[in-house]
Amino acid sequence: MARETMKVFCGNSVPQLAEKICKRLGISLGKATVDRFSDGEIRVKIEENIRGADVFIIQSTQSPAENLMELFLMLDAAKRASAARITAVIPYYGYARQDKKDEPRVPITAKLVADLLTQAGASRVLTLDLHAEQIQGFFDIPVDHLYATPLFAKFFGRRNLSAYIVVAPDAGSAKRSRGYAKRMGDLPMAIVDKRREMKDRPEALNLVGDVDGKVCLLLDDLISTGTTLIEAAGLLLKNGAKEVRVVATHGVFAADAVKKLAASPIQELVITDSLPVKDGLPAGKFHVLSIAELLSEAIRRINNGESVSSLFI
Beta carbons within 8 Å of 65's beta carbon, 6+ residues apart: none
Residue 194 designated active-site:
yes
From the list 95, 97, 38, the residue with the least C-alpha distance to 71 is 95
Choose the catalytic residue: 7, 20, 111, 194.
194
Mark residue 52 as left, alpha or beta (left: phi above 0; alpha: psi -120 to 50; beta: remaining): left
From the list 210, 229, 202, the residue with the least C-alpha distance to 218 is 229
Mark residue 185 as left, alpha or beta (left: phi above 0; alpha: psi -120 to 50; beta: remaining): left
- Kindly provide the b/e burial profile for residues 216-251, where b requires at least 16 CB atoms within 10 angstroms of the residue's own CB: bbbbbbbbbbbbbbbbbbbbbbebebbbbbbbbbbb
Widest CA span in the chain: 61
Q: Other C-beta atoms within 10 Å of 2: how many?
A: 11
- What does the chain come to in residues? 313
Instruction: Report the catalytic residues.
Output: 194
